[in-house]
Amino acid sequence: MTAVPPDDALGGLVDLGDLIDAVRTAHSDLALGRAEQPVPAISGTDAGTIVLPMVATSHRLGLTVVKVLTDAPGNREGDGPVQQSTVVVLDSRTGARLAVMNGGTCTRMRTAAASGVATDALARHDSRVLGLVGAGPLAVEHAAAVRRVRPIDTVVVWSRSASRVTAFRDALRQRERADGVPALEVIAAPGPRQVVEAADVLCTLTPSRSPVVEGAWFRPGQHVNAVGAPPRPDHREIDSHGMARASVFVDSADIQLQKSGEVLLSLKDGATTEDDFRCELGAVLAGLVPGRAGLEQITLFNSVGIALQDLAFAALALKRTSWTTPNA
């Protein structure tokens, strides 16, 4: 088994541009039958902890990933991490264990990479203003990813905590220096509505149980990446009107229809039908279905996060540790 660096060193192994390309290929593989992404089963414990095992296989790479995500709300009392994850990489032919890695950096980077892929496929080419609802580490990674695919020059950001916006600005400046790219203009917004109304590309990055963004705020031609809500049927960031107003693209239709609160709650409200959530991003990338149909269309990538994206990250990380994939 390959020795993999600790989680805080994993980011240095994987170039974000390479990861965007790898995630793009992974989604195309899923649409073309070159990968498997079953619906994960959620298990609960007596302590109220949620355990979510996520599995994916790439036939092209000969790899299987098992990611175990835990959500332990009780950890807040002891200032422990509420959400943790572990990624196990297997040779899909022999079942041999190839690596085990912490999932924090992997999850953050592959989530932003998927938003970068969706933005590249669906957003208007003249998009220059990035809106961020949420200002944590995922926001920094999203700014880095989206500017890779669109000529972003301004970021409008909101968080419930002013100190988090300040920390975001400082972390973004540090990231820009490390990446050797020009500094983006950062504007702190007084509320999420002002972010939405200013943004060409909007990313929602909060683990909210109730909508923080209303569809009435959407602008014609806007692209939205709804990223923050975990795969739980009672969590959502976008209200039902927003899901109905936008043309929605998903990472996995089967998973969305069972696990996404954005999807299930808008269906319950009668604002949408299941057919509104059948169009997968991979099918757009593979040329099987159209993406953006016009300049005024509102597009929305609803992301719950899939293990195939973790597999894309793991394959790149392990290549940098002198390991080669079985079918490479």
pLDDT tens profile 24-36: 999 999 999 999 9
Residue 2 has pLDDT above 60, yes or no: no
Structure-token pair, residue 315:
């394959």
Name the CA dihedral angle for 12, 128, 155, 296, rounded to a multiple of 10 degrees.
-120
Q: What is the largest CA-CA distance in the chain?
A: 54
Residue 322's pLDDT is what?
Answer: 55
Residue 325's pLDDT is what?
Answer: 46
Q: Are strands 129-133 and 201-204 parallel, antiparallel or unpaired?
A: parallel
**Which has more pLDDT, 3 or 160?**
160
Tell me the CA distances in angstroms from 76 to 80, 81, 132, 265, one per residue in order.
6, 7, 25, 27
Contact between 61 and 325 (Cβ < 8 Å) = yes
Predicted confidence band of residue 328 (pLDDT cuts 50, 70, 90): very low
- Any idea what DSSP says for residue 261? H
**Which has more pLDDT, 225 or 43?**
225
Q: Give per-residue burial for 62-73: e unless 16+ CB within 10 Å, then b.
A: bbbbbbbbbbbe
CA distance 144 to 157: 14
Residue 232's pLDDT is what?
Answer: 82
Residue 324 has pLDDT above 50, yes or no: no
Residue 6 has pLDDT above 80, yes or no: no
Structure-token pair, residue 248:
């929605």
Residue 160 has pLDDT above 70, yes or no: yes
Query: Quick one: 123-306 is in which CATH superfamily?
Result: NAD(P)-binding Rossmann-like Domain (3.40.50.720)
Percent of the chain with pLDDT over 90: 80
Residue 321's pLDDT is what?
Answer: 77
Q: What sections of 33-136 are H helices per DSSP? A: 104-122
Mean local confidence (pLDDT), 251-268: 96
Residue 205 has pLDDT above 60, yes or no: yes
Structure-token pair, residue 140:
């920094």
Single out the residue of 319, 328, 308 nearest to residue 24, CA to CA: 308
Residue 77 has pLDDT above 90, yes or no: no
CA distance 74 to 260: 23
Residue 42's pLDDT is what?
Answer: 76
Numbered ranges of CATH 3.30.1780.10 in the chain: 7-106+308-319
Q: What average pLDDT does the structure give for the chain? A: 92
Number of neighbouring beta carbons within 10 Å of residue 31: 18
Residue 148 has pLDDT above 70, yes or no: yes
Report the alpha-carbon angle 119-124-127, nearest 5. 85
Q: Are strands 201-204 and 83-91 parallel, antiparallel or unpaired?
A: unpaired
Residue 3 has pLDDT above 70, yes or no: no
Residue 123 has pLDDT above 80, yes or no: yes
Number of neighbouring beta carbons within 10 Å of residue 82: 13
Predicted confidence band of residue 15 (pLDDT cuts 50, 70, 90): very high
Mean local confidence (pLDDT), 192-213: 96
Tell me the CA distances in angstroms from 62 to 88, 226, 322, one per residue in order.
14, 31, 17
Contact between 222 and 199 (Cβ < 8 Å) = yes
Given 3.30.1780.10, 3.40.50.300, 3.10.330.10, 2.40.50.140, which CATH number is that of 7-106+308-319? 3.30.1780.10
